[in-house]
């Protein structure tokens, strides 16, 4: 997703996981959870002028969703259970899961080089990058964004053909939409299908995410939360090459919680997909405060707030971090 400064109703959807002990869980009623969330949300919305939010939390394995404010300041339509949010780069975790699922199906291997699936790049540096390196942002210095001049597949292939690494693959973590975007693109190519369709058939449907989309149907546009730029002007995600694979998912708070529960091992997930999800949690490289998994990031527990802030700060987004 483009990192311009915005107040997105969409990207402020929160999926929190509260792990309560068996003894304490009985003390938490739905009203208790609601009051705790209310105390956090009210000052947050006021401080950052957030028009609306959907908050999802899991307490003792039970999901709770709370809606606040409006999904559009123009229409005044309230945030509701069927409100669809852009989840930005959280989409990358779903793309990584699709790639891991393709490996479970024998359609690709994450240790393969790109050139196995894109023969035109056989003798080029990008062709020697592995799929794991794409999924861990360690391909060798890919840019944060796909260059604005690239609008189609032909332009993307020309760019990748000419690309030269700034670092040896596997030695630096450089957060990149190009990197995970190409992981998704190659996964769809290896599976012989359309990326959006594969996401629906292989991930969204089996996980019960029936209100989750890459390509949004016209019939759901009325439920699509409106984002706003810092100056208050309406804004939504930008398109361009690899947008679907890198940041294209729209979903509801309840559906996103279903994905969270599947990742926590608390959902009735088909065995093959469960193995794919577990594969995305494997750590590959250590980069400053975090261990980089297949898109997911992990921290030793317990973790201090300054460590989380460091790992999620702009420095980790725009700088090359030794891996």
CA 240 to CA 149: how far, in whole Å? 9
Whether residues 183 and 286 share a domain: the answer is yes
Domain assignment present for residue 46? The answer is yes
The strand pair at 321-322 and 234-235 is best described as unpaired
Whether residues 36 and 179 share a domain: the answer is no
Catalytic residue among 72, 91, 117, 175, which?
175
Per-residue pLDDT of the chain (323 residues; tens, 9 = 90+): 333 323 333 333 333 333 333 344 456 899 999 999 999 999 999 999 999 999 999 998 899 999 999 999 999 999 999 999 999 999 999 999 999 999 999 999 999 999 999 999 999 999 999 999 999 999 999 999 999 999 899 999 999 999 999 999 999 999 999 999 999 999 999 999 999 999 999 999 999 999 999 999 999 999 999 999 989 999 999 889 999 999 999 999 999 999 999 999 999 999 999 999 999 999 999 999 999 999 999 999 999 999 999 999 999 999 999 99
Whether residues 254 and 242 share a domain: the answer is yes
Which parts of 163-302 fold into alpha helices (H)?
177-191, 195-198, 243-247, 253-263, 271-279
CA 276 to CA 25: how far, in whole Å? 30
Catalytic residue among 72, 89, 91, 179, which?
89
Q: Domain with 81 in it: what CATH number?
A: 3.40.710.10
Judge contact between 111 and 33, C-beta under 8 A.
no
The strand pair at 14-18 and 234-235 is best described as unpaired
Q: Which domain holds residue 138?
A: 108-191+281-323
CA 28 to CA 211: how far, in whole Å? 28
Whether residues 25 and 87 share a domain: the answer is yes
Is there a catalytic annotation at residue 109? Answer: no
Report which of 265, 318, 322, 267 is spatially closest to residue 289, judged by C-alpha positions: 322
Whether residues 124 and 271 share a domain: the answer is no
**Burial classification of residue 16, based on how many CB atoms lie within 10 Å of its CB (0-12 exposed, 13-18 middle, 19 or more buried):** middle
Report which of 56, 26, 22 is spatially closest to residue 254, judged by C-alpha positions: 56
Domain assignment present for residue 201? The answer is no
Domain assignment present for residue 65? The answer is yes
Which parts of 192-282 fold into alpha helices (H)?
195-198, 243-247, 253-263, 271-279
pTM above 0.75, yes or no: yes
* pLDDT reported for residue 22: 37
Whether residues 186 and 310 share a domain: the answer is yes
Q: Which residues contact 183 (CB under 8 A, 6 or more apart)?
A: 95, 96, 99, 131, 134, 135, 245
Domain assignment present for residue 118? The answer is yes
Coil, strand, or helix at residue 18? strand
**Burial classification of residue 108, based on how many CB atoms lie within 10 Å of its CB (0-12 exposed, 13-18 middle, 19 or more buried):** buried
Q: Look at the chain and report how many structural domains it folds into.
A: 2
Report which of 108, 96, 98 is spatially closest to residue 202, judged by C-alpha positions: 98
* pLDDT reported for residue 11: 32
Residue keyed to tokens 């990207």: 11
Q: Which residues contact 314 (CB under 8 A, 6 or more apart)?
A: 3
Whether residues 271 and 297 share a domain: the answer is no
* pLDDT reported for residue 26: 54
Domain assignment present for residue 69? The answer is yes
Whether residues 271 and 292 share a domain: the answer is no
Is there a catalytic annotation at residue 228? Answer: no
Domain assignment present for residue 153? The answer is yes
User: Percentage helix, strand, coil, to 5, in the chain?
Assistant: 40, 15, 40
Whether residues 178 and 129 share a domain: the answer is yes
Measured in residues, the chain has a length of: 323
Whether residues 285 and 153 share a domain: the answer is yes
Whether residues 162 and 20 share a domain: the answer is no
Domain assignment present for residue 103? The answer is no
Report which of 207, 185, 204, 183 is spatially closest to residue 195, judged by C-alpha positions: 185
Coil, strand, or helix at residue 54? strand
Sign of CA dihedral 26, 29, 35, 41: positive
Domain assignment present for residue 16? The answer is yes
Whether residues 287 and 271 share a domain: the answer is no
């Amino acid at each position: 997703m483009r990192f311009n400064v915005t107040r997105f109703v969409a990207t402020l959807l929160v999926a929190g996981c509260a792990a309560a002990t068996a003894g304490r869980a009985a003390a938490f009623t739905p009203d208790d959870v609601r009051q705790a969330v209310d105390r956090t949300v009210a000052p947050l919305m006021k401080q950052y002028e957030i028009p609306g939010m959907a908050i999802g939390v899991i307490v003792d394995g039970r999901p709770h969703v709370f809606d606040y404010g409006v999904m559009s300041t123009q229409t005044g339509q309230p945030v509701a259970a069927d409100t669809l949010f852009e989840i930005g780069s959280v989409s990358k975790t779903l793309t990584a899961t699709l790639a891991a699922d393709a490996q479970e199906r024998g359609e690709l291997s994450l240790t393969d080089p790109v050139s196995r699936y894109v023969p035109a790049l056989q003798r080029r540096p990008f062709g020697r990058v592995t799929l794991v390196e794409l999924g861990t942002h360690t391909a060798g210095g890919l840019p944060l964004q796909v260059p604005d001049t690239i609008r189609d597949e032909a332009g993307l292939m020309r760019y990748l053909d000419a690309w030269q690494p700034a670092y040896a693959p596997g030695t630096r973590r450089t957060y990149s939409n190009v990197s995970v975007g190409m992981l998704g693109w190659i996964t769809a190519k290896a599976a012989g299908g359309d990326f959006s369709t594969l996401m629906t058939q292989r991930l969204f449907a089996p996980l019960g995410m029936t209100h989750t989309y890459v390509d949004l149907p016209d019939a759901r546009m009325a439920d699509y939360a409106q984002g706003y730029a810092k100056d208050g002007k309406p804004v939504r995600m930008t398109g361009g090459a690899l947008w679907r694979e890198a940041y294209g998912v729209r979903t509801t708070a309840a559906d996103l919680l279903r994905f969270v529960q599947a990742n926590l091992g608390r959902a009735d997930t088909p065995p093959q997909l469960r193995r794919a999800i577990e594969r995305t949690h494997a750590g590959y490289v250590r980069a400053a405060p975090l261990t980089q998994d297949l898109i997911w990031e992990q921290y030793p527990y317990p973790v201090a707030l300054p460590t989380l802030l460091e790992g999620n700060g702009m420095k980790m987004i725009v700088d090359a971090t030794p891996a």
